[in-house]
Amino acid sequence: MPQLAYVNGHIVHHAAAMLHVEDRGTQFADAVYEVCAVLNGRILDWQPHLVRLRRNLAELGIVWSMADGPFGLQARRLIAANGHADCIIYIQISRGTARRDHAFPDAAPPNVVMTVRRFDFAQRVRQLDTGIKVVTQPDTRWGRVDIKTTGLLGNVLAKQVAREAGAFEAWLLDGETVREGSSTNAWIVKGGRIITHPTGTHILPGIARDSILRLAGEAQILVEERPFTLAEALAADEAFLSSTTSLLLPVVAIDGEKVGDGRPGPITRRLGELLWAEVARQTGWRA
C-alpha cells in the first residue's frame, strides 16, 4: 500500500506531498504541530491534543476555521488510508503561504499537513525493563517553549548530541535546573514522591505528562510539580521521561552516572504499568 499524506484537504502520495516554498512554516517556523500515537487504529488522547493545538494556534494568532468534528474525520481518514494499526500521526498547521515579510499576511489561509508513519509500540514496553540513558545539554531554546511550534533547532541539536553519545535523550539545563528533554518531559523520584517541572513558559505541557499526573493521583502516589536540579536528579532514587512516542521510559543513567542502582525503579515501573493500562483502556492495544 503506498504511503499517503494529507495536504490542505487532499490525500496525496507521500512522495508528491508538497507545500509552496513561501510557506511561513518553512521561512519562519511560523507553524504549530502535534504528534499523536495511534494504537490499534485508535488515536490516543485525541481530545487533549486537539485542545493543545487550538491553544497554540490562539497563542500565535493563527486563524483556522476547520471545526473539531471535520478535522478529526480527516485525521482518521488519513490513518485508515495508510492502513497501519500502530502508527504516529504528525499534524502541522502554518500561518499559510505569503510573499516573505515578517509581519502577518492579510489573507493567507493556514497550510495544514498530516503524515503518518508506522510505529513499534511494543519496543517501548520492552524498554520499561531495560531503561534508557540521557545526557545533559544547555537549554538554548526561545522563551515560549510551551507553544508547540516547529521552531525546534535547539531541540534538534541537543537530540543529536544525545544520539552521538549513545543516549536516548538530552535533558535541557537552564543553569542547574532541568527543564525537560529535547522531545520529552523529565521526572525524578525521591523518597516515594515523583517530581516534575511545573507548566509555564519553560516546558511543553506534555499530554503524557498530564496522564501520568492524573494516574499518580489516582494511585495516591505523591506528586511535586517544581523545578529540580541536575544534582537532585543524580541523587534521585529513580528517574524517567514521558512523551507521546516514548510513553514512559525509565532513565537509568544521566551523563554516564547511574540513577539509583542503575535499573528501573519500583515507582517508575508502577507508573509505566498504569500508563499502559490506560493505553489499553482507550485503544484496546496490548503488547
Binding site for ligand PDD (CB under 6 A): 35, 155, 180, 183-185, 204, 206-209, 242-245
Closest approach of Cβ 200 to ligand PDD, in Å? 13
Q: In terms of Cα–Cα distance, which of 287, 21, 257, 29 is closest to 153?
A: 29
Residue 247, burial from CB neighbour count under 10 angstroms (0-12, 13-18, 19+):
buried
Task: State in angstroms the smallest separation of the CB of 267 from ligand PDD.
Answer: 19
- Compute the distance between CA of residue 93 and CA of residue 169 in angstroms, rounded to an integer: 26
| 3-class secondary structure, 44 | coil
Whose Cβ is closer to ligand PDD: residue 6's or residue 98's?
6
For residues 206 and 264, which CB has a smaller minimum distance to ligand PDD in the complex?
A: 206
Minimum CB separation of residue 51 from ligand PDD in Å reads 11
Catalytic residue (one of 133, 148, 159, 190): 148
Please indicate whether residue 190 is annotated as part of the active site. Answer: no
Residue at shortest CB range from ligand PDD: 206
Would you say 108 or 171 has its CB closer to ligand PDD? 171
Sole residue written with cell 498547521: 93
CB 203, min distance to ligand PDD, A: 6
Q: Minimum distance between the CB of residue 52 and ligand PDD, rounded to whole angstroms?
A: 7
**Which residue number, 23 or 169, has a Cβ lying nearer to ligand PDD?**
169
Distance CA 247, CA 54 (A): 23
- The answer to whether the CB of 25 falls within 8 A of the CB of 102 is no
The long-range contacts involving 142-147, CB below 8 angstroms and separated by at least 24 positions, are 143/201, 144/59, 144/201, 145/179, 145/201, 145/202, 145/203, 145/204, 146/199, 146/200, 146/201, 146/202, 146/203, 146/204, 146/205, 147/32, 147/56, 147/59, 147/60
From the list 142, 208, 150, 199, the residue with the least C-alpha distance to 174 is 142
**Which C-beta is closer to ligand PDD: that of 6 or that of 187?**
187
Q: Would you name the residues annotated as active-site residues?
A: 148
